[in-house]
């Protein structure tokens, strides 16, 4: 018998943080290298100081942008049916879960209202 492992909650948040951190680090690193080359091309010299300054300059945006990216991922998780019109659930989206979505929405509509009690 097959066993399943639930990876929702903290494991998924940790995975999204690691994955988002890699993307943000790559973007910041490429941006920093291109910015450094652009400054050298126009003749601006940036003095090298101790590593804590560069850690603050690079680390603070890295952490902030990673957290914003993860918040964006978590907010957008599972909301891809929003822009699809209801009449297309049984059309071209039927094979991608449209039949189940249509049945689910019809079942919710048939539920009795609590105001009648």
Per-10-residue mean pLDDT for the chain, 117 residues long?
69 81 83 83 77 74 85 67 70 74 82 67
Whether residues 67 and 103 share a domain: the answer is no
* Residue 30 belongs to some domain of the structure: yes
CA distances from residue 37 to 24, 32, 47, 79 in whole angstroms, order as listed: 20, 9, 14, 41
Answer whether 101's CB lies under 8 Å from 88's CB: no
pLDDT value of position 58 = 79
pLDDT value of position 15 = 82
Whether residues 65 and 91 share a domain: the answer is no
pLDDT value of position 79 = 56
Whether residues 91 and 59 share a domain: the answer is no
- Centre a 10 Å sphere on the Cβ of residue 66 and count the other Cβ atoms it contains: 21
Answer whether 32's CB lies under 8 Å from 40's CB: no
Domain limits for position 27: 13-74
pLDDT value of position 1 = 59
Please tell me the pTM assigned to this model. Answer: 0.47
* Residue 67 belongs to some domain of the structure: yes
Separation of alpha carbons 70 and 18, rounded Å: 9
* Residue 46 belongs to some domain of the structure: yes
Whether residues 91 and 46 share a domain: the answer is no
Based on the structure, what is the number of domains in the chain?
2
């Amino acid at each position: 018998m097959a066993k399943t492992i639930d990876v929702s909650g903290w494991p998924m948040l940790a995975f999204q943080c690691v994955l988002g951190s890699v993307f943000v680090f790559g973007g910041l690193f490429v941006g920093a290298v291109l910015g450094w080359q652009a400054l050298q091309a126009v003749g601006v010299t940036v003095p090298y100081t101790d590593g804590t300054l560069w850690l603050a300059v690079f680390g603070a945006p890295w952490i902030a942008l990673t957290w914003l990216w993860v918040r964006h991922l978590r907010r957008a998780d599972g909301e891809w049916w929003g822009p699809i019109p209801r009449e297309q659930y049984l059309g071209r989206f039927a094979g991608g879960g449209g039949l189940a979505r249509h049945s689910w929405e019809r079942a919710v509509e048939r539920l009795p209202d609590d105001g009648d009690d």
